[in-house]
Amino acid sequence: MASAGLVRGTLAAVTVVVLAAGPEFLRPSQLYLVSLWAVTAIAAMGLNLTLGYAGQISMAQGAFVGIGAYTVALLMQAGLGFFPAFLAAGVLCFAVGWLLGYPALRVQHHYLAFVTLAFTTLVYLLLRNEQWLTNGVYGISGIQRPTALGFAFGTAARFYYFCLGIMALFLGAMWWMIRSPWGRAFMVLRENPVRALSLGVDTRRYTLLAFAIGSAVGGFAGGLFAPLVQFLEPNSFSLGYSLSLLLMVIVGGAGYLFGPLVGAAVAILLPDFLRFTEGYYLLLYAAAVMVLMAFCPQGLIGLSERWQANRRARLAAGGER
Amino acid sequence: MKYLVKPLFAAAIALSPISAVAQSTVYIPNLAELSGAGAVSGTNWRDGIILAVEEINAKGGILGRKLDVPHVDTQSEASIARAQIQKMIDNKPYVILGPVFSGSVLPSMELSKAAEIPQIMGGEAAAITQRGNPYIFRTAFGQQVSMPKIANYMRDGVKAKSVAVVWVNNDFGKGGRDAFVAEMTKRNIKVVADVSTESGQVDFASDVVKVKNSPAEAIFVYTNEEESARFLREARKQGIKVPLIGETTLLGQKVIELAGEAANGVKGHVGLTADAPVPALQAFGEKFKKRFGYANDHNGIKGYTAVYVIKHVTEKIGKFDSKAFAAALHGMTITPAQEPGILMEATWDKNGDIDRQSFLGEVVGGKQKIVEILPKAGL
Amino acid sequence: MSAFIQLVVSGLATGAIYALVAVGFALLWQTSQTINFAQGEFVMVPAFFVLVAIKYWGFGYWPAIAVGFAISALLLGAAFKGLVVEPMLRHGVLPLVISTVALAILMKEAVKDFYSSQAQQFPAIVEGTDLDFLGAVVSTQSIAVIVVAIGAVALLNWFLSSTLTGRAMQATAQNRNVARILGIDVERMILYTFLINGLLTALASFLISPIYLAKFTNGETLGLAAFVAAIVGGFNQVRGAVLGGLILGILDNLAAAYVSAQYRAAVPLVVLVAVILWRPQGILGRVEERSV
């Protein structure tokens, strides 16, 4: 199937070129939207690690994005540069994820969902109520965009490249991780936890690791969210956000490298191009998700793979004749 | 890798040309909370705008150009509001209407300021007009104006020495609560119970228990519509005897409808209302009800007058010039004689704050009754 | 003291509703491994069926309630099973969870777009008169809610344990394959469970909407409460779900009054998380057997 590989390569190259040329033909609002897509896709990638590879339902990814975003905003207000603040956001979320997951993963499945749900509620209330720290319901505004080596990413176009660049970095890291021994251990966990155990994989430790790394990636996404939106308020990180990230991962295809990118595109970019659905988009989106789940729970990527496999089978059958 | 088609497809559509705004119309987009927590306010605001736009367009528009007013949903979320207003600005609007939630106004106004486009919105948080933004205009009192009026009423009308405050814990409620408590301190009135409630809360038993057990001589209730109604019902049930005081919302049509008898006896300050003894406001209320099948609240009036402000200012400057518009509206007073659609005389100061008459009212027999007209605050 | 009684009685009324909703939630989990994240919307929507029947079809109160029950059983029971749950059972738990999350959005948006975004008054079964009870004021509405809800759960419990059909349903819930071998019509038993859930959520809807008003967002809190109550109760236990609901209702009120109003939403959750970590099978639950 050399031709399929060629097609993939060409598509990938074209996508990269189109995204790279974005500022040439996209309007500022569309640049913002694509940047938001990149940031959301990173958050979804983190959740994909927890959900798609380690098989755990987390309803806390939105909360980790929130923690990351506030960490960056507050540290930058305190005079720290963007990059140390960004790093701190990821490290903090890794630590919090570890601490949350440690007890929660004693009890799995719907209990982890419950514990993460409680966590998300608590984080939202902390962000809202602890006004001395987070400025509460009034929110934080005027967050600066980063400067690197004397180069300011202030304009929409420059920050667009910045977001896409970081997203590409994370995509690469994910690619590397799922091919590493860690990633393979994660996957065994999802496919067959009992077998994993019998193979001597410390299931709890690896699940915990997947959850903590996924949370850290959520924190990094938050670290980009803050300078992108330049305004933070607690409402953005309530339970609804975690649920919509969960939907994105599943819709795109949980356990596929590119799943989160597709899922985030459907949730963030598509409404902008389906303007005629104005007001009914959410309704249609929900209905589409239900249909997708009924026919192809592997998500859109699973759907396209299945379609390709079918076509290949048909071609092969035709070739034999 | 078929899935890579997706972003490609997206990019291809993005290439398609912007729908050119025809010269015969003027683009005045409206950004509102059409879904989510702010849906009641946002829908009222939008419908007020629709009514005004229909009237103006039926009479030939402004300076011969029809108004093109698309309504865009913020889903009551700040990040979406920010994205949507950027999209509007790309299309070079003349003026932007909305949003209503202060939490969505604050991030979006930075963008309209940078683009030098006037934004006439419904937010009431004090902070909005305290940032020296020359392009932001209110359609209702900021909390820094309405709260002193309530505070005066507490001192002079209710003659309370100690009060309880029940507020909804969002930017609207918290902002009002902070301003109210500050005004109380200035007047040496003690706040003896400070009760935070949730947006969407249904059970108010514990909140009523708290204020009931406090020595408060009056209770100030500052929550959204449904929550106000639920609180009033629980308060009546537990037999609260001290006066229940509110600001605009608590005496609003929706709360009276939902709370039923429990609303009777509620008193307070009303910024804007279709029940005011002002014929223009009452006529507007009837028109609104006829067109949309429900009774408007103050947000309907805010939206309606916002459009007429655009009409009046534009006709005065004689051209569609965003910068000139903003400059002209600062310090301007519009009277119903000059522009009937303004409904009540209103003045904008250099910060974009609005000043107009307001009312003291009371709910009697399931109806809002205005007992006193308060003069302009004189900003 | 009277304040404490007030809080407990109010909490009981709210808790009784949570219990009703949680029972249905637990039943669905037992018989078909369905975690229904739209359960709250299942309580929100029936009130609108009734409002439509009254407003557009000109029905009186009781006929409208009957219509409400019928539509709920049909849509939230049978159609939910046939169109949403059934096609997804073979895919496992997660896709179904996601699908019910989407269903919740769908129902909310549909009510908002096609009925109203504003809260609606809803007629009450019982006139609200206030009674004095040990210094606390209790409305007859709250008493009616508690009585009807507890009565419904008791009736359900009796049905499940004392009738042939009920016992067949329980057998199905415990082990589908054994039930099938015993000659039980498993498919029908599962359908009954869904119908019962539809009726229970409709009942909850008609009980609370007069007090809380009917609004498209009402399901958000209720659905979470049902989920939490069911987990606390043990997830596979009807009695546990009842207990979980009542505890949550009371805890909610006490937390708001005595711990922190600003953190009222989190206090019960944090307490319950602690309970779960200490007793993962829930307060009354048994350890679930795994068939791996």
Query: What is the span of the domain harbouring residue C197?
Result: 20-219
Using one digit for the tens of pLDDT, what is the confidence trace for A205-232?
A: 888 898 999 999 999 999 999 999 888 9
Q: List, as ranges, residues 6-45 from C with C-beta within 8 Å of A.
A: 35
Q: Which of C6, C105, C109, C209 to mutate to test the interface with B (most CBs of B within 10 A)?
A: C6
Q: Hey, are the CB atoms on B169 and A141 less than 8 Å from each other?
A: no
Smallest Cβ–Cβ distance between A290 and the set C99, C269, C277 belongs to C99
Closest CA to C204 of C41, C38, C95: C41
Closest CA to C146 of C284, C66, C250, C289: C250
Q: Hey, are the CB atoms on A141 and B110 less than 8 Å from each other?
A: yes
3-state secondary structure of A56: coil
Whole-number Å distance between alpha carbons of A298 and A48:
13
* Residue located via tokens 């990638």: A45
Asked whether the predicted pLDDT for residue B98 surpasses 80, the reply is yes
Positive or negative: CA dihedral B39, C268, C226, C103: positive
**Chain B neighbors of A36, CB-CB under 8 A:** 79, 83
What phi and psi values does residue B115 have, to the nearest 5 degrees?
Answer: -90, 0
**Chain C neighbors of A194, CB-CB under 8 A:** 292
Q: List, as ranges, residues 224-283 from B with C-beta within 8 Å of A.
A: none
| CATH number of the domain within which B334 lies | 3.40.50.2300
- C158 burial via Cβ count (<10 Å: 0-12, 13-18, 19+): exposed
B39 touches chain C (CB under 8 A): yes
Within this chain, do residues B99 and B175 fall inside the same structural domain, yes or no? no
**Chain B neighbors of A269, CB-CB under 8 A:** 7, 10
Using one digit for the tens of pLDDT, what is the confidence trace for A294-320?
A: 888 889 998 888 888 888 888 877 655
Residue B337's beta-bridge partner residues? none
Within this chain, do residues B86 and B136 fall inside the same structural domain, yes or no? yes
Contact by Cβ (8 Å): A288, A300: no
Asked whether the predicted pLDDT for residue B21 surpasses 70, the reply is no
Total residue count of chain C as it appears in this document: 292
Q: Hey, are the CB atoms on A121 and C266 less than 8 Å from each other?
A: yes
Whole-number Å distance between alpha carbons of B310 and B95:
8
Q: List, as ranges, residues 28-57 from B with C-beta within 8 Å of A.
A: 34-35
**Residue B17 covered by a domain:** no
Within this chain, do residues B126 and B224 fall inside the same structural domain, yes or no? no
Whole-number Å distance between alpha carbons of B66 and B24:
6
Within this chain, do residues B149 and B181 fall inside the same structural domain, yes or no? yes
**Residue C200 covered by a domain:** yes
User: Radius of gyration over alpha carbons of chain B, in Å?
Assistant: 21
- Measured in angstroms, the CA of C75 and the nearest CA of chain A are apart by 16
A78 touches chain C (CB under 8 A): no
The DSSP symbol for C120 reads: B
Smallest Cβ–Cβ distance between A290 and the set C102, C113, C231 belongs to C102
B212 touches chain C (CB under 8 A): yes
**Residue C169 covered by a domain:** yes
Instruction: Give kind and range of the element (H or E) at residue B305.
Output: helix B298-317
Within this chain, do residues B65 and B94 fall inside the same structural domain, yes or no? yes
The DSSP symbol for C38 reads: T
CA C83 to chain CA mean position, Å: 21
Q: In degrees, to the nearest 5, what angle opens at C-alpha C288 toward C-alphas C283 and C292?
A: 160
- Measured in angstroms, the CA of B110 and the nearest CA of chain A are apart by 9
Whole-number Å distance between alpha carbons of C69 and C63:
10
Instruction: Kindly list the partner chains of chain C, i.e. chains with 3 or more CB atom pairs below 8 Å.
Output: A, B
Neighbours of B330 (CB within 10 A): 13
Q: What chain C residue is nearest to A193 in terms of C-alpha separation?
A: C292
Tokens of A242: 């975690």
Tokens of C86: 């059934």
Asked whether the predicted pLDDT for residue C207 surpasses 50, the reply is yes
Whole-Å CA distances, B247 to A100, A130, B222, B251, B321:
43, 26, 7, 7, 36
pLDDT, mean over chain B: 89
Q: Hey, are the CB atoms on A122 and C266 less than 8 Å from each other?
A: yes
- A311 burial via Cβ count (<10 Å: 0-12, 13-18, 19+): exposed
**Chain C neighbors of A242, CB-CB under 8 A:** none
pLDDT the model gives residue B126:
86
Tell me the percentage of chain B whose pLDDT exceeds 90: 68
Within this chain, do residues B225 and B370 fall inside the same structural domain, yes or no? yes
**Chain B neighbors of C16, CB-CB under 8 A:** none
**Chain A neighbors of B90, CB-CB under 8 A:** 27-30
**Chain B neighbors of C121, CB-CB under 8 A:** 257-258, 260
Where residue B2 falls among pLDDT bands split at 50, 70, 90? Answer: very low
Largest Cα–Cα separation, chain B: 74
Q: Which of A105, A283, A292, A306 to mutate to test the interface with C (most CBs of C within 10 A)?
A: A283
Closest CA to B173 of B125, B132, B240, B109: B125
Asked whether the predicted pLDDT for residue C226 surpasses 80, the reply is yes
Whole-number Å distance between alpha carbons of B130 and B352:
9
A176 touches chain C (CB under 8 A): no
Using one digit for the tens of pLDDT, what is the confidence trace for B105-163?
A: 988 898 999 999 999 999 998 889 988 899 999 999 999 999 999 999 999 999 999 99
**Residue B6 covered by a domain:** no
Within this chain, do residues B166 and B262 fall inside the same structural domain, yes or no? yes
Tokens of A98: 């570890």
The DSSP symbol for B65 reads: B
Where residue A198 falls among pLDDT bands split at 50, 70, 90? Answer: confident
Please tell me the number of Cα atoms within 13 Å of A61 on its side-chain side: 32
User: Radius of gyration over alpha carbons of chain A, in Å?
Assistant: 20
**Residue C291 covered by a domain:** no
* Residue located via tokens 């609207």: B172
pLDDT the model gives residue B252:
86
Where residue A275 falls among pLDDT bands split at 50, 70, 90? Answer: low
Stretch A175-179: mean pLDDT, rounded? 89
Q: What chain A residue is nearest to C279 in terms of C-alpha separation?
A: A107
Closest CA to B80 of B48, B112, B103: B103
Tell me the percentage of chain A whose pLDDT exceeds 70: 94
Closest CA to B177 of B146, B215, B136: B146
**Residue B16 covered by a domain:** no
Interchain CB contacts (distance < 8 Å): A and B? 126
Whole-number Å distance between alpha carbons of A211 and A223:
18
Within this chain, do residues B55 and B202 fall inside the same structural domain, yes or no? no
- Measured in angstroms, the CA of B259 and the nearest CA of chain C are apart by 9
Query: What is the span of the domain harbouring residue B189?
Result: 144-270+358-374
Stretch C70-93: mean pLDDT, rounded? 91
Using one digit for the tens of pLDDT, what is the confidence trace for A30-85?
A: 898 899 999 999 999 999 998 888 778 899 999 999 999 999 999 999 999 999 99
Strand B367-374 and strand B358-364: the pairing is: antiparallel
- A299 burial via Cβ count (<10 Å: 0-12, 13-18, 19+): buried
Q: Which of C37, C235, C273 to mutate to test the interface with A (most CBs of A within 10 A)?
A: C273
Q: Which amino acid is at C10?
A: S
Total residue count of chain B as it appears in this document: 379
How many domains, chain C? 1
Q: Which amino acid is at A240?
A: G
Q: Hey, are the CB atoms on B107 and A231 less than 8 Å from each other?
A: yes
**Residue B11 covered by a domain:** no
Interchain CB contacts (distance < 8 Å): B and C? 84
**Chain C neighbors of A290, CB-CB under 8 A:** 84, 99, 102-103, 106
pLDDT, mean over chain C: 87
Smallest Cβ–Cβ distance between B10 and the set A265, A282, A304 belongs to A265
Domain range summary for chain A, segments of one domain joined by +: 25-273
User: Radius of gyration over alpha carbons of chain C, in Å?
Assistant: 19
Contacts of A91 (CB under 8 A, 6+ apart): A216, A219
Contacts of A10 (CB under 8 A, 6+ apart): none
Q: Hey, are the CB atoms on B196 and C261 less than 8 Å from each other?
A: yes
Least confident of A222-226, A305-309, C261-265, C284-288: C284-288
A102 touches chain C (CB under 8 A): no
Whole-number Å distance between alpha carbons of B246 and B150:
8
**Residue C278 covered by a domain:** no
Looking at this predicted complex, what is its ipTM? 0.88
**Chain A neighbors of B32, CB-CB under 8 A:** none
How many domains, chain B? 2
Q: What chain C residue is nearest to A57 in terms of C-alpha separation?
A: C94
**Chain C neighbors of B294, CB-CB under 8 A:** 118
CATH of domain A25-273: 1.10.3470
**Residue B12 covered by a domain:** no
Q: Hey, are the CB atoms on A15 and B4 less than 8 Å from each other?
A: yes
Least confident of A31-40, B7-16, B182-191: B7-16
Whole-number Å distance between alpha carbons of C94 and C117:
31
Neighbours of A24 (CB within 10 A): 9
Within this chain, do residues B157 and B125 fall inside the same structural domain, yes or no? no
**Residue B252 covered by a domain:** yes
**Chain B neighbors of C109, CB-CB under 8 A:** 35
Q: Hey, are the CB atoms on C252 and B203 less than 8 Å from each other?
A: yes
Whole-number Å distance between alpha carbons of A241 and A59:
9
Instruction: Give kind and range of the element (H or E) at residue B167.
Output: strand B162-168
**Residue B63 covered by a domain:** yes
C52 touches chain A (CB under 8 A): no
**Residue B45 covered by a domain:** yes
**Chain A neighbors of B176, CB-CB under 8 A:** none
Within this chain, do residues B237 and B297 fall inside the same structural domain, yes or no? no
Contact by Cβ (8 Å): A185, A56: no
- Measured in angstroms, the CA of B17 and the nearest CA of chain A are apart by 10
